[in-house]
Amino acid sequence: MTNSVPTDETLVALAYAMAIGPERLYELQEGLSARLREAGGDGSTSGEELIAGEFGSLEAHFANALEMLHQGSRQRRPAWNAIQLMEQDHRALAMVGQGAEVRYANDAARRALGLATDGPIDIDLLEEGSEAAFRAALSRLGSVEDNRILGIFKMMDAQGGPPRQMGLKQVRDDNGVATGYLFEMSAIWDVVLATKFKDLMKLTGAELEILRAIVTGMTLSDLAEERGRKVSTVRLQAKRLLAKLHLRSQTELACLYAAFAENEARGTRSPAWDDADNHPRRRFESSAGRVLTYEVAGPPAGRSIVFFPALLGGTTLTPGMYRQLFARGLRLIMVWRPGMAGCSPPSDPTMSAFRDYAADMAELLDMLGIERCPVIGHITSIMFAYGLACHQPDRVESVIGVNPTTPCHRGAHVSAISVDEKLRFMLMRRAPKVGRMLVHAMLAKVEAGFDEEFLTRFLDNKIDHETMQDPHLRDGFRKSFSKTIEQGYDSFSHELALCGLDWQPVVDGTRCPVVLCVGESNPVYSPDLLRTFAHAQHDTKVLGLSGAAHLLFYQRMDAVLDAIPHADALTDRLAG
């Protein structure tokens, strides 16, 4: 785009062009920024009134363009997005209906198991004697909680190879209908891997034997006979083992071991350890009827830290990050926010959103048996970390920000926030139809297959570009993105609208220690900007980290964990 300031007609034309395809996204973004600068948005003010005056008259056109974009976009097709990820996976994966019909099979499943999309599963492929259990599991798809693992089944290789161990999990299709998700597991019993698993999970010798029986398909009755114990004794030990690991079934235990074994076997090779199998999504409903979903990563007996995910990256953790959690004995409770990943829809973007979320979080912590712990807020989610500390001060030990955003209405730091950054937030408040169109167009571009191009432009620095070469990270970003937009693109729009509020009151209400970690090469919120902001806040320190930029959490997770005040003295663990 040239340096000329675009007219209203040009901006409207670009908006409608975005409804057809994503190629004009950056031209539209640059045009909006150029108009704001021309109108006097030099960074000295928040720009709210300027935005309302400049773009208010365009809202009707942007609303029309947004509706057109929705008609052609894939944002309402979460199962379609999952299929794209399945096709890239080397494991045999398939979606099946309650009648054992194949709704989709990826290339590996087509070759290894002979599955054909829209055809029936060949029941003869199932291990002898397991057909009834398989059909019973499929019949329960509509009556169990979402993402519940229903069983593990051996299926014969169509090419004469060794049997494939397949997990069956309940998921929802595009229309909200319960569907079976078959996924290949790697649960081969290996003494060396089993010993590593035993050490990580702090299992006893008897518990390791129970794990061996479950993984290899031995019944607990046979194990009791082998060990010369009563069956009731072994079953009680198995029940206690599941409680110790916070698992609900022997199937989940086998899946946990399989995920661990696969990760150890792959090392740093691609594709990544499937994060959906590492830390399955869990569901909690508050007394107010609002649903939160969360994922747990780290050793079962680890000390608890609450982590609020970023919009991009979400709950992505690489194998190296997992190893750090286990080495330090830390467990991340990664909690999603309204409108994302199966949570209840968001309320209006007002300050009460932080109060309500904090109340729900307090109840979740009660359920988990966590009295008080540190809270990490990643980028925009720092607002919710401050909100929890402000409204539930007895539950928060400290707040740790990772490349955090800041309030953008008042304070000495505001003049250092770029016009483009303010534009993202203020459009959602003062010209919301224009703002939503811009956000939805960006996300449609990502979904249209331009995700790597988008990240290359968004992460405009060499350090982040090198970090994104990690295949584990790229794979994790794609999967977490699907979770974030599971209910549509407004999960992003709502969060940016909250960023546009004057949320300084929740910062002022936070009295616990605060540490703001920032990459020295962060292109948006620099260490100097955050130091200016922190100077006016209570008990707030800024830690600038070398060798890090926007992807700080993935580049220097060790330093972020080291920055937690009194990290060595943490005692709170999950109940049970």
**Helix (H), strand (E) at residue 477:** helix 471-484
Q: Are 390 and 510 in contact (CB under 8 A)?
A: yes
Superfamily the domain 275-429+455-569 falls into: Alpha/Beta hydrolase fold, catalytic domain (3.40.50.1820)
pLDDT along the chain (576 residues), means of 10: 66 62 63 73 53 69 64 45 61 88 89 86 84 90 78 83 82 78 74 78 87 82 90 91 76 73 48 42 92 90 92 89 88 94 90 96 95 96 98 97 93 87 76 75 65 66 85 83 82 88 95 96 91 94 94 94 79 54
Which residues touch 246 (CB under 8 Å, ≥6 apart)?
296, 300, 574, 576
CA dihedral in degrees (22, 23, 24, 27; nearest 10)? Answer: 120
- Of the CATH numbers 3.40.50.450, 3.30.1060.10, 1.10.390.10, 3.30.450.20, which one belongs to the domain with range 78-185? 3.30.450.20
The confidence score (pLDDT) of residue 82 equals 56
Beta bridge mates, 118: none
Interatomic CA distance for residues 376 and 516, integer angstroms: 10
Task: Look up residue 228 and give its amino acid.
Answer: G
Rg (CA), the chain: 25
H-run or E-run covering 182: strand 178-185
DSSP 283: E
User: Hey, which bits of 275-425 come out as E strands?
Assistant: 282-285, 291-297, 303-308, 330-335, 373-378, 396-402
Q: Tell me: cis bond preceding 404? Omega within 30 of 0 counts.
A: no
Residues of the chain by 3-state class (helix, strand, coil), percent to 5: 50, 15, 35
Q: Where are the domains of the chain?
A: 78-185, 191-266, 275-429+455-569
**Whole-angstrom Cα distance, residue 46 to residue 42?**
9
- Among 445, 342, 447, which Cα is nearest to 81's? 447
Distances (CA, A) of 157 to 94, 115, 132, 163, 456: 15, 11, 20, 5, 41
* Residues sharing a CB contact under 8 Å with residue 298, sequence separation 6 or more, in sequence order: 322, 325, 326, 330, 331, 332
Q: Which residue type occupies 199?
A: D
Beta-carbon neighbour count of residue 56 at 10 Å?
Answer: 13
Q: Please report the pLDDT score of residue 17 as a whole number.
A: 58
Collapsing DSSP states into helix, strand and coil, what is residue 94? strand
Quote the CA–CA distance of 17 and 430 in Å, as a whole number: 23
Q: Are 399 and 514 in contact (CB under 8 A)?
A: yes
- Distance from CA of residue 190 to its chain's centroid? 31
What is the reported pLDDT for 52?
Answer: 66
Q: In CATH terms, are 78-185 and 191-266 the same topology?
A: no
- Closest C-alpha to 48, from 408, 407, 348, 442: 408
Q: Which two tokens stand for residue 345?
A: 């829809």
CATH topology (fold) of 191-266: Arc Repressor Mutant, subunit A (1.10.10)
